Amino acid sequence: RKEVEQDPGPFNVPEGATVAFNCTYSNSASQSFFWYRQDCRKEPKLLMSVYSSGNEDGRFTAQLNRASQYISLLIRDSKLSDSATYLCAVKELTGGGNKLTFGTGTQLKVEL
Amino acid sequence: DAGVIQSPRHEVTEMGQEVTLRCKPISGHDYLFWYRQTMMRGLELLIYFNNNVPIDDSGMPEDRFSAKMPNASFSTLKIQPSEPRDSAVYFCASSSDRLANTIYFGEGSWLTVV
């Protein structure tokens, strides 16, 4: 089983729709959680951290469910510019203290 | 501010040749990471350094791969000999805090081995 798993998609949604992605992780000792955005042929960039109580940044809402070991990303009122691949990342507290493991990403296509 | 700088951006090489990828992290960052991204396997951590010292190289696929960080502003990832299955995008990234809450990626080195 992969450490971090995502549905690769693609998710094709009309502009203005609400779309949600989930990401499951296998290590219950995982400490920190993130969503990254990657545009085609570009590098990943941090979209938002995921806090235990859930957090919101404009149209984006991230949530963490430790009991079921998954994180989610909700995008409301989706825009054409939201089309990208969304990668979840999980940080484990290791001896070195700094290892981020990424999922393979979920592709989102927002259409007119 | 300059971000993480990688070179070359694109490289096409023949099987068996040596490939050297270079990275300059963001000034002041004390963590440096090498990731590889392919369609099949996604983004994989190969190795990371803290204060120029390799901390975890468990992701390095085999002895053909080696990485060095001779000083705080430079790192290399070397593949010798290269094989077609090494074709991927290699990202270097850096971070400034032990919690790694934000990792900044370079634009990547697109490697094709034919």
**Residue A37: its pLDDT value, please?**
97
For chain B, percent of residues with pLDDT exceeding 90:
82
Instruction: Report chain A residues whose CB lies below 8 A from the CB of B108.
Output: 43
| Cβ–Cβ below 8 Å for B98 and A32 | no
| Other CB atoms within 10 A of residue A20 CB | 12
Q: How does DSSP classify residue A67?
A: T
A13 within 8 A of A76, measured Cβ to Cβ = no
pLDDT digits (tens, 9 = 90+) for A20-52: 999 999 988 888 899 999 999 999 999 999 988
Select the residue from A2, A43, A88, A91 to test the B interface by mutation, using most B Cβ atoms within 10 A.
A43
**What is the token pair recorded at B57?**
């190289």
Q: Residue with structure tokens 């949600």?
A: A20
| Cβ–Cβ below 8 Å for B56 and A94 | yes
Instruction: Report chain B residues whose CB lies below 8 A from the CB of A42.
Output: 107
What is the mean predicted confidence (pLDDT) over B75-89?
97
Q: pLDDT at residue B79 above 70?
A: yes
Cα–Cα distance measured from residue A60 to residue A74, given in angstroms and rounded to the nearest whole number: 6
**What is the token pair recorded at B70?**
């001779």
| Other CB atoms within 10 A of residue B29 CB | 17
Nearest to A32 among B33, B99, B106 (CB): B99
Count of pairs with CB atoms under 8 A, one residue in A, one in B: 57
| Cβ–Cβ below 8 Å for B108 and A101 | no
Q: pLDDT at residue A109 above 70?
A: yes
